[in-house]
Amino acid sequence: MKLGWAAGRVLAKKGTGPVLVGKDTRISGYMFESALEAGLSAAGVDIRLLGPMPTPGIAFLTKSTRAQAGIVISASHNLFHDNGLKFFSSDGTKLPDDVEMEIEYELNYPMRSVPSLNLGKARRITDAPRRYIEFCKSKIENNINFNDLRIVIDCANGATYHIAPKVFEELGAEVILHGASPNGLNINDECGATSPDALQELVKASRADVGIAFDGDGDRLIMADHCGAVLDGDDILYIIAQSQLRKLNGAVVGTVMSNLGLEHAIKKLELDFFRAAVGDRYVMELLLKNNLILGGETSGHIINLELTTTGDGIIAALQVLESIILTGKNLSELTKEISKYPQIVRNIKFDTQIDITRNDEINLAIKDTENILANTGRVVLRPSGTESLIRIMVEGENENQIETLVDELADKVNKVTTRLH
């Protein structure tokens, strides 16, 4: 409530438009929504409630309705017991750092309501899903349909459950649904982009052409080909890059976690490949800095600035299906030029605020591992942006070698973090 009030105080100084509030399907969204509504109203800001909506849908509506800002209540790919907030500016992009700092500054003050006469009013935008469905459908060519495609869609029991099926069905596809019965507690629970096993089995059992799995808030996806093999964000980014070569201004943006095989495949397309820090915010920064339009993460966040202002799972899936229709190739054929390097990730629990990346002992261990790999692999160690974890990734040509190296590095990190705790 106080964060809503602080945000409202800052926004009230900048304009008079409403603030949109949307959420995914986790049970705590009811509580967060009511608290935010109260805080924003107390600051004298009008509120427009969207109900369950994908994160990119809220970004789109923030811009199209000329709202001052949009707030997303979601913990993305996490299970139901987590929740959080994301803010969008009036342009449908992440809030500028200076505005975030102003909001944080306001949190230092005691909360006081404006006079009753000036309280913000709230109302619900009941046609929000339909507006976003039409927006998504408008992003592929009018003469393209999916009449000959059978698609399995896993909505992670999340925010896309009532939107994604309609988008693909209205474009002609035969849709087989999974993870589209949210109850507040089952979001991302053994379904969706982080748990693709059910998707893979359904694709094979139903002899589908494609499988698509979204995460809880719909800003990322993974896919499965007709044999049930999983395609991650690297594969999806490559397919889209391949189909839009002439529009890409000479380069594509990935992250430090993007597979070396993707980098090599992108360079074969005569495009440069830039690496950002992990996080769609950093991918966006690099895109804007270099006047580029296409970037993404291995996890399945894909940003195409020609079509959207943020990562959008549904629109990325539509672009891939469009490639299938235009080329007549299936997903495995579209990705045959990517030869991925073995890549192993270890997660280590670490819930303090210490910056582990500055530890001399760990940095020496990383350097030793890089020396062993020479020029045939990479090491990435970073704190997770969403969980109390340190992620260690080792990539190289020899899977047995990198498994040994990642185990040794994880053992070293475990010993150091145990002492720091």
Neighbours of 354 (CB within 10 A): 12
Q: Is the dihedral of CA 103, 106, 111, 112 positive or negative?
A: negative
**Rounded Cα–Cα distance for residues 362 and 343 (Å):** 20
pLDDT digits 0-9 by tens, 17-58: 999 999 999 999 999 999 999 999 999 999 999 999 999 999
Average pLDDT over every residue of 152-174: 98
- Is 28 a known active-site residue? no
Q: How many CB atoms lie within 10 A of CB 54?
A: 32
Q: Which residues of 131-153 are buried (b: 16+ CB within 10 A; e: fewer)?
A: bbbebbbebbeeeeebeebbbbb
- Average pLDDT value for the chain: 94
What global pTM score does this model have?
0.91
Q: How far apart are CA 348 and CA 328, in angstroms?
A: 43
Model confidence over 322-363: pLDDT tens digits? Answer: 999 999 999 999 999 999 999 998 998 887 677 878 888 889
Sheet of strand 294-296: strand arrangement = 272-276, 251-255, 294-296, 302-304
pLDDT given for residue 7 in this prediction: 97
Judge whether residue 421 has pLDDT over 70: no
Domains present along the chain, CATH in parentheses: 2-126 (3.40.120.10), 132-334 (3.40.120.10), 343-420 (3.30.310.50)
Which of 74, 76, 89, 299 is flagged as catalytic? 76
Asked if residues 11 and 47 have their Cβ atoms less than 8 Å apart, the reply is no
